[in-house]
Structure 1
Amino acid sequence: MSSLKVLWSPTRDDQFLTYGNAINLYRVGSLKTYHPQKGQQVIKLSDETYAQHLSVNTEIPITKCVAWYPKKEPENLLAVGQANGKVTLTSFGSADNHDLIGKEFIPKHTRQCNYLVWNPVDCDLLAEGLEKYRGDASIAIWHIMAKHNSEQATPPERQRYSSTMSDPGAISKPFIELGTSDVSSSFSWFHSDPKTFVTGMGSKYLKIYDLRDISRPHLMAQTRSVYGVCTDPRNNNRIAAYTDIHVSVWDLRSFERPILTLQEARPVIKIDWCPTRLGFLAVLCKDSSSIKVYDTRLVGTEELEPAIIERTVSSHDSSVLSCFSWHMSHVNRLLTLTPAGVLRDITVYERIPVVLIEKLT
C-alpha cells in the first residue's frame, strides 16, 4: 500500500491498529502511570498517552483494506480485503483457534477490493466493494455465519452462499449482489436502520437501498460527491460524501440536494462523522497537516443558517497527515497518522477558538 492506515478498536477503549504491509495491534496507556519494563519499547502519542506494541499479523501480504468486527467476540476479528478481491477473516495470536479465523470469501472474478464495511447491528453481514468487471456486481454482501433457514422466504435477488469444491472454507457466492452496471466507490450502513445502506455509484449518484427489496433504490440523489460516503451514527437522517475539493451533507428528509456544501483548498482524502458528538464532521485534505472539524448541528435551522462552526486540529509537529480515526467512545478524541507512520493522540477541545464560515450551496 502507498500509505499506512489507522483504526481505533470498536470494542476496546485502549486498543488500535495500523495496517499497510502488515497489521499491527497496539495498546494505549497513561504516561502518568507508566512504569517501563526492561527491554520494553513504547511510542509516545501525546503528553499524556503512549502506545505499546502488542502483536503483528503478516499472514496477508497485499492488504487493500481492513474492517474491525464490531463485537467483542471473537476478540479482534478482522476482515481483510486483498487486491484480488478475496476477503479473509483473521486476528492476532490467542484468537487464531476460533472457527471464523481463516474463513475466506472469494468473488467470481479476480478484481480489487475497494472497501469493507461491517453492519453495525447485524454484525454477520459484511459489505465489500469491488472494481468493475464486465457484468459482475460491484457490491457483494457476505453473511459470515450463513445462518439461513432453508424454509425462510428469500427474495430472488438474494443468493445464498456455497462453498467451493476445492476449499470447503471458501465462500464463492455472496448473500446479496448489487450494482452490475456501475462501480461502487463508497458504502455506509445506517446505524438505526441496519437493513438499509447508502452507496456512491458510477461517479453520478448516491443511492439508498433496503435489504428487504434491492430491486431498485429506495432513494437516489444525483451528485458528483460519491466518495467516502458516511452516515452520522448519531443522526440517521444525515449523510456526508465528497468529490475533489467539495464535501456535501444531505438530509434524508430532503434528499434532492445537499443542505450543506463545503469547499476546501485542496483535494479531500477522508471524511468521517464523530461517533460521540452529534453533527461533528472531520475532513482531511491531501498534503495537509491539520484536520478540520465542522460542527453542523444547526445547519438548516434558523439559529445559524447560513453558517457552520469550524475547528482546526493540527498535528504536533506540523507533519503532513495521511489518515485519522475517531475514538469510538471517548468524546472528541482521534488518532492521526503520517505517511512515515508517526502517530498522534489528539482531543478536539471545546476551548479551541471557533471560526464562522459562509455556507456554500
Structure 2
Amino acid sequence: MKKQGVLLCNLGTPDEPTPKAVRRYLAEFLHDYRVVSLTRWVWCLILHGIILRIRPAKVAKLYKSIWTREGSPLLAITQRQRKKLQIMMNDRFVEQEYGKHIPVEIAMAYGNPSIPKALKALKNQGCDRIVVLPLYPQYSSASTASIFDRVAKAMKQEFFVPEFSFVGDYHDDPLYIKALADSIKRHWNQNDKADKLLFSYHGVPERFSKGGDPYEKQCHKTTELVVKELGLQEGDYLTSFQSRFGKEEWIKPYTDATLETWGKEGVESVQVVCPAFSADCLETLEEIAEENKEVFVESGGKRYEYIPALNDDDAHVEMMLALLEQRLLK
C-alpha cells in the first residue's frame, strides 16, 4: 500500500514587505517563462535593467499596506487552509474506516515555503504517492502549468520519483460554485445587494486564449454557474479581468475600465468578487479593495464593496477535501 501525501500550492509572496525581499520575489516570479514568454535576452535586459530597479520599492509599499501580524495574508491564509484540511482529513481517513494518516504540506510557486522543500517534507514522511492541488480554480498556463513545471524540476535530480496525481482545475465543481454563491449571499444579508455584481478575475494576455489556454472560457463558466445559483438576470452582473501588466492586449473587459464606465454612467453601488483567488492577497486586498474603489468613487459611484475570497471558510476546505478524496481513495 502506497503512503500518500497532499501538496497544496499557491502563487507566492515576498518574505517581508521590503524592497530587498520584493526584488528577490519578483526576480523569481518574472523569470518564469510561463509568466513572461518574451525572448530571454531581451526580457532579462528589461527585467534587470529597469523593472527590478524601479518596481520593488513601489510594490513593497503596497505589500506593507496589507501586511498583518501573521505576515503575508496569502501565506497566513494558506497555512490556515492547510491546518483545517489536515484536521478534516484526519477525521475522514484516520478516525473513520480507512485508518491512515495522510500528511498535508503547503508550497508556493515563488518564494517560501518552496515546492522542493515541501516535497522533501512529504518524502521524509514516507510518501511515495502525492496529490498536488494548485489552489487556482481556473486552469492557466501562467499559474497551474507553472506548478507542474516546478514539481517536475524539483524531481529532476531525484533517483526515486513518487507517483503524482495533479488536479488541473475545479472551475465548475459544484461544491466550489456553491461555496462562492453562499459567500455572496452572506454578504448580501449583511450589506444589501448592490446595483451591480462584478466578477473580477486575474487577467492574462489575449494570446493565451488564442493559443489554446482554457482560462478565459473557464472564468466565464464559473460566472455563469454562480449567477445561476444566485438567480441573477443579465444586466445585474459582469465578468471582467484585472492586474494586466505590460503593453500587449489582455483579455477584456478590464476591471478598472469597467468600474470607471459604470461610475460615469450613474451606477451607484457595486460589489466585487474575485473567484480566481482562493486566498486574499495583494491583488484583492490592495488592487481591488482599495485602488479600484478609488476608480469607481472618483468616477461618480457611491457605494463600493469587496466580497472576500473563500479563504479558510469551512465550505471551501470541505471542497478541497472532496477533490482530494476522488484521488486518494483510488
TM-score, with structure 2 as normaliser: 0.26
Higher relative contact order (CA 8 A, sep 6+): 2
More helix by share: 2
Structure with the higher strand share, 1 or 2:
1
